[in-house]
Structure formats: structure tokens, C-alpha cells
């Protein structure tokens, strides 16, 4: 299978390479990656990568092998996931606790940006406490954050779609 690996070269921080398909642990599902996103922390890691760095923490795709322990989604389920590493590849093993089923109405390209960004937005909303009646500006929050605001009781939520 193909994967992007770190080169340590500033002018070409990653390159496409052949690698073995991951073998999932009992509590991991094997996901065929349809889309991944790059997060800020990964870009910093690419500047001076440690040996063996295999980037990729935000993915969306299709479960091709369910977890052997029976946890998590079945094979054939579309998912969004937050693997500990390795998502910039054709396949990635993801702990089932880090997977969520993806509705058919959500494109994989959009969903791949949700794991880290969505977790960050959710943590910030929880840290902010009650939001009803308060003015809050969120940029790049995606629909997940808007739903969280509405669920927290904020009826005056605006969204911009592109």
C-alpha cells in the first residue's frame, strides 16, 4: 500500500512510499482511508521528524476489517477516526474507541477535518460553560460545533457554507 512518510527535508517534507498494510490489534478496525486532514501539530513534527514518524491523526473512510474483539463498527461502515498515527495512507488501523460512524450525508473530505478540530471545539465549549446569551465567535468550527452550540441552548447560531 502507499503512505506519505516524513523526509526531514524542508523543501519536500513528505514523499509517497510503499509500505505494508497495517495489522490491527484486537480492539482496532482496519479502515480504507478515503480522506485525511493535516493538523497544525503534524506540520511542526514534519519540520524535524523523529526517525520512523508515520503522520496522520484525522481520517475518514470505510471499515474493511472489523475489530477482532467485536467492538466498534462492522465491516462496510463509513467512519471518521482519530488514529494515534499512520492516517496518511491507503489503510490505517484505528482503535474502535476512536471511531464514529459517518452519516451518508457527510462527505469524507469534510469529515476528515472533524476529529482533532471537533475534539478541540467540543473541549473549548465545555470549558466555556453555559453559552446561552453569550456572544461566541468560532472560526472553522464545521457543523459539529454549530450542533453543539444549539444543543447547549444557543438558538442564535449562524453558519456560513462554502
State the DSSP string of 97-121: GGEEE--TTS-HHHHTTHHHHHHHH
Q: Is residue 141 very low, low, confident or very high in pLDDT (cuts 50, 70, 90)?
A: low
- Domain 2-106 CATH assignment equals 2.60.120.620: no
Q: Is residue 161 very low, low, confident or very high in pLDDT (cuts 50, 70, 90)?
A: low
Q: Whole-model pTM?
A: 0.78
Domain extents in the chain: 2-106, 116-151
C-alpha cell at 157: 447560531
Q: How far apart are CA 59 and CA 114, in angstroms?
A: 9
The average pLDDT across 128-136 equals 75
Residue-level pLDDT at 151: 59
Query: Is 2 within 8 Å of 18 (Cβ atoms)?
Result: yes
Residue-level pLDDT at 146: 57
The average pLDDT across 72-90 equals 97
C-alpha cell at 71: 467492538
Strand partners, 89: 3
pLDDT for 73 beyond 80: yes
Instruction: Measure CA 4 to chain center.
Output: 16
Amino acid at each position: 500500500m502507499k503512505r506519505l512518510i516524513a523526509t526531514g527535508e524542508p523543501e519536500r517534507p513528505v514523499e509517497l512510499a510503499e509500505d505494508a498494510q497495517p495489522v490491527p490489534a484486537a480492539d482496532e478496525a482496519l479502515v480504507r482511508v478515503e480522506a485525511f486532514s493535516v493538523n497544525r501539530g503534524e506540520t511542526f513534527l514534519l519540520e524535524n521528524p523523529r526517525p520512523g514518524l508515520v503522520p496522520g491523526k484525522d481520517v475518514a473512510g470505510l471499515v474493511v476489517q472489523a475489530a477482532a474483539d467485536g467492538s466498534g463498527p462492522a465491516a462496510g461502515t463509513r467512519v471518521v477516526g482519530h488514529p494515534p498515527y499512520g492516517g496518511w495512507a491507503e489503510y490505517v488501523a484505528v482503535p474502535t474507541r476512536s471511531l464514529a460512524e459517518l452519516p451518508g450525508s457527510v462527505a469524507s473530505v469534510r469529515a476528515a477535518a472533524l476529529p482533532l478540530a471537533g475534539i478541540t471545539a467540543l473541549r473549548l465549549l465545555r470549558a466555556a460553560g453555559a453559552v446561552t446569551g453569550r456572544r461566541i465567535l468560532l472560526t472553522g468550527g464545521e457543523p459539529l460545533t454549530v450542533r453543539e452550540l444549539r444543543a447547549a441552548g444557543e438558538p442564535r447560531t449562524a453558519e456560513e457554507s462554502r
